[in-house]
Amino acid sequence: MNNDHGSARSKSTMPLFDRQAEPADFELYDKEHPDIWQNFEKITLNLVRHGSKHYGSRAIFEIIRYHRFIEKGDDYKVNNNYTKNYALKFMREYPQHDGFFETREQKVF
């Protein structure tokens, strides 16, 4: 019996991110949506304060969407293609937390 619910990929080979955005694309997106960084930074620092050593950037994006829906009642569009970029930005701006997010090189098939 196949327990992976029909998935052809095992959990170990699933990509960590949809794709990595080009740096110029991310810089523009970040500039046009400063609230995403503010929320990402706030949530991540809160996790650190509460003792978390590692967390997923995609999970933080889901938390941002959740709070936006609860607070504003709308479906907030946050592009998952930028999760890795926000994780890297956080670790650059807070080098004491380097490694908080696990990042992997994107493989080209």
Residue 103 has pLDDT above 90, yes or no: no
Q: What is the pTM of this model?
A: 0.74
In which band, very low, low, confident or very high, does the pLDDT at 54 lie, cut at 50, 70 and 90?
Answer: very high
Mean pLDDT over residues 37-59, rounded? 96
What average pLDDT does the segment 37-63 reach? 96
- For 95-104, the CB contacts below 8 A with 24+ separation are 97/44, 97/48, 99/54, 100/44, 100/48, 100/52, 100/53, 100/54, 100/55, 101/54, 101/55, 101/56, 101/57, 102/16, 102/54, 102/56, 103/16, 104/16, 104/17
Higher-scoring residue by pLDDT: 42, 76: 42
% of residues, the chain, pLDDT over 70: 75
- Does an H or E element contain 64, and which? helix 57-72
pLDDT for position 19:
53
Measured distance CA(61)–CA(43) in Å, rounded: 10
Average pLDDT for residues 3-19, to the nearest whole number? 38
Better-predicted residue by pLDDT, 61 or 74: 61
Q: Which two tokens stand for residue 98?
A: 């380097």
